[in-house]
Amino acid sequence: MENKKSIAVDAKIYQKLVALKKEGESIEDVVGHLVDQATTADRNWGWRGSCKLVVLGPENAGKSMILKSFFENKDPRQLLSDFLLPTKTIEECVYQWLDVKVNVVEIGGVELDRVLNEGAKQAFSKANAIIYVFEMKAWEKDKEKIIADLAKISKLAVNLAPDASIECFIHKVDVLEKAKREAFADQVQANLVAGLKRAGARGNVEIHATSLVPGHELEVFRVLRNLLFKHSSILRQALLPGFLRV
Ligand SMILES: Nc1nc2c(ncn2[C@@H]2O[C@H](COP(=O)(O)OP(=O)(O)OP(=O)(O)O)[C@@H](O)[C@H]2O)c(=O)[nH]1
Ligand SMILES: [Mg+2]
């Protein structure tokens, strides 16, 4: 994957990453090397940390493909040329990412309203991140529903998953040509923020414009990696003072 952007991490971690940086490298390169080092090491790291991700959103939004490309290392090109059956239930999977045991709860689009209206206790309980995915082109038609869903999620999270960050993927941004894409994504983002405020959403909803189409896929990887990053003791150790890059 080509890494052109720097990743958004908190200031302390960022400083440590800068300290590990060799000449000519970007911060993304440093994280990439740390990840490679850990995944190719002979030593079996085992699970040291765990985290729970809940992924939900309307039907056909791209949730299953996002998860397969990130956690199963499936080539997005291949995935996009295939057909995936719609997710008809709530699917729970356990993935390993470095030394992190990641419990992923994926709520199929057909289950979305039921889960949100019935309280979502089990699905949301103790989640570390809740990711809501919708297709960019659905915005005009479905904006009220999207805002209502996100506001509901933010309120449910207060009691069920108080530590969870809430992430919203405006997905399939590739369907618009570049010039229009950025302006439209900015407009959707501004309307979403205003709508969430009106709807009394609680806490912060982080909004990301995403796509799996090659050339655009970095944002999905960046967001997921930054969510998991905090739970990895390998990366935490690597970031301690005195750690030397091999
Ligand atoms: N253009 C474009 N299409 C995408 C992208 N990601 C996924 N898709 C398409 O979106 C469709 C639905 O993808 P899924 O991952 O099955 O959607 P889902 O959100 O899991 O849908 P449900 O299981 O019904 O909830 C597929 O036909 C994909 O080819 C993307 O980044 N860009
Ligand atoms: Mg699915």
Same domain, 28 and 135: no
Ligand 2 centre and the CA of 215: distance in Å?
A: 23
- Is 198 within the bounds of a domain? yes
Is the minimum distance from the CB of 109 to ligand 1 under 6 angstroms?
yes
Q: Which of 127, 155, 162 is nearest to 55 (CA)?
A: 127
Q: How confident is the model at residue 7 (pLDDT cuts 50, 70, 90)?
A: very low
Q: Which residue has the tokens 């970007």?
A: 26
The verdict on residue 213 lying in a domain is: yes
Q: Which residue has the tokens 């090659």?
A: 214
| Average pLDDT, integer, range 85-109 | 93
Two structure tokens written together for 5: 């952007």
CA of 239 to the centre of ligand 1 (A): 36
In the block, tokens 């397969």 appear at 68
> 74 alpha carbon to ligand 1 midpoint, in Å?
14
pLDDT above 90 (res 121): no
Q: For ligand 1, atom 13, name the residue with the nearest CA.
A: 62
Structural domain range at position 24: 11-46+232-238
- Residue 37 placed within a domain: yes
For residue 53, give the 3-state DSSP assignment.
Answer: strand
- Segment 169-197 shows an average pLDDT of 91
Query: What tokens does 86 get?
Result: 């719609």
Nearest to 55 by CA among 210, 190, 186: 210
Are residue 190 and residue 112 in the same domain, yes or no?
yes
Instruction: Say if CB 135 and CB 145 are below 8 A apart.
Output: no
Torsion of CA 189, 191, 193, 199, to 10 degrees: -140
Residue 85 shares a structural domain with residue 196? yes
> Same domain for 16 and 105?
no
Considering its fold, how many domains does the chain have in total?
2
Q: Are residues 92 and 34 in the same domain?
A: no
Q: For residues 29 and 81, state if they share a domain.
A: no
The answer to the question of residue 5 being in a domain is no
pLDDT of residue 46: 67
Looking at the domain assignment, is residue 163 inside a domain?
Answer: yes
State if residue 165 touches ligand 1 by the CB under 6 angstroms criterion: no
Q: Decide: 106 in ligand 1 pocket, CB within 6 A.
A: no
Q: What is the pLDDT of residues 131-178, one digit of tens each?
A: 999 999 999 999 999 999 999 999 999 999 999 999 999 999 999 888
Q: CATH no. for residue 116?
A: 3.40.50.300
Protein residue with its CA nearest to atom 10 in ligand 1? 62
Label residue 134 exposed, middle or buried (CB < 10 Å: 0-12, 13-18, 19+): buried
Is 83 part of any domain? yes
pLDDT tens for each residue of 14-68: 777 777 788 888 877 877 777 676 666 555 556 778 999 999 999 999 999 999 9
Residues 213 and 168 occupy one common structural domain = yes
Residue carrying the six token digits 């790291």: 45
Q: Binning pLDDT at 50, 70 and 90, where does residue 238 land?
A: low
Which of 54, 56, 60 is the best mutation target for the ligand 1 pocket, counting ligand atoms within 8 Å of the beta carbon and taking the most? Answer: 60
Judge if 61 and 150 occupy the same domain.
yes
- For the CA of 216, the closest atom of ligand 1 is 31
Q: Indicate if 29 and 124 belong to the same structural domain.
A: no
Task: State the pTM of this model.
Answer: 0.85
For ligand 1, the distance from its centroid to the CA atom of residue 66, given in whole angstroms, is: 8
222, 8 contact by CB (below 8 A): yes
* Contact present, 171 and 211 (Cβ < 8 Å): yes
**Ligand with smallest separation from the Cα of 82:** 1
| Conformation bin of residue 98: beta by default, left when phi > 0, alpha when psi is -120 to 50 | left
112 lines ligand 1 (CB under 6 A): no
Distance 10 CA to ligand 1 centre (A): 31
Contacts of 65 (CB under 8 A, 6+ apart): 76, 79, 80, 84, 212
- Nearest C-alpha to atom 29 of ligand 1 is from which residue? 80
Q: Which atom of ligand 1 is nearest to the CA of 217?
A: 31
The CB-based long-range contact list for 192-196 (8 Å cut-off, 24+ gap) reads 192/143, 192/146, 192/147, 192/150, 192/168, 195/143, 195/144, 195/147, 196/147, 196/150, 196/151, 196/154
67 and 41 housed in the same domain: no
Residue 145 lies in a domain: yes
Do both 25 and 96 map to the same domain?
no
Amino acid at residue number 193:
V
User: Is 148 contained in some domain?
Assistant: yes
Based on the domain organization, do 104 and 36 belong to the same domain? no
The type of residue at 15 is Q
